Amino acid sequence: MLNEQDFRKRLSSAILQLRYKHKYSIEKLAELSNADYSSVSLIENGKQSPKSYTLYKILYALNIDMFKQLEVQTDSKNKHSLENKLIQYIKSLDEEQLQTLIEFFETYTIVNQQKNNL
């Protein structure tokens, strides 16, 4: 985990690079993010840690959807959790139950392929 000073340095560098990529001046970024010019300047220079909502507004102005990034991580964890749950369930089945499950998946696959071919 980063200490606050290293966090500010990395964040300021990232914001600066994104601002240059979009060819925005600090004034333009402040305007687009509806943030105070001096706050954006202090954050970009690593002299101030942004409030969470200010960071959200700056990232939004730079076309970075932080919630989408968090959802991807959450969805990935949920998928992994569901896969593990399914594996545990399958391991608990006896031979007859496994055969029934396999038949179900085979039938489902055939029906799904037929739907896609229509």
Q: To the nearest 5 percent, what fractions of the chain are helix, strand and coil?
A: 80, 0, 20
The residue among 24, 44, 64 that closes a domain is 64
Read off the pLDDT of residues 60-70 as tens digits, 9 standing for 90 and up: 999 988 877 66
Same domain, 55 and 38: yes
Q: Print the domain residue range for 38.
A: 4-64
Same domain, 46 and 92: no
Do 15 and 39 form a contact (C-beta atoms < 8 A)? no
Same domain, 76 and 91: yes
Sequence-distant (6+) residues with CB within 8 A of 63 are: 22
Same domain, 90 and 112: yes
Q: Is the dihedral of CA 21, 22, 24, 30 positive or negative?
A: negative
pTM check: above 0.85 = no
Read off the pLDDT of residues 27-79 as tens digits, 9 standing for 90 and up: 999 999 999 999 999 999 999 999 999 999 999 999 988 877 666 555 556 66
Q: What does the pLDDT read at residue 87?
A: 82
The residue among 23, 47, 64 that closes a domain is 64
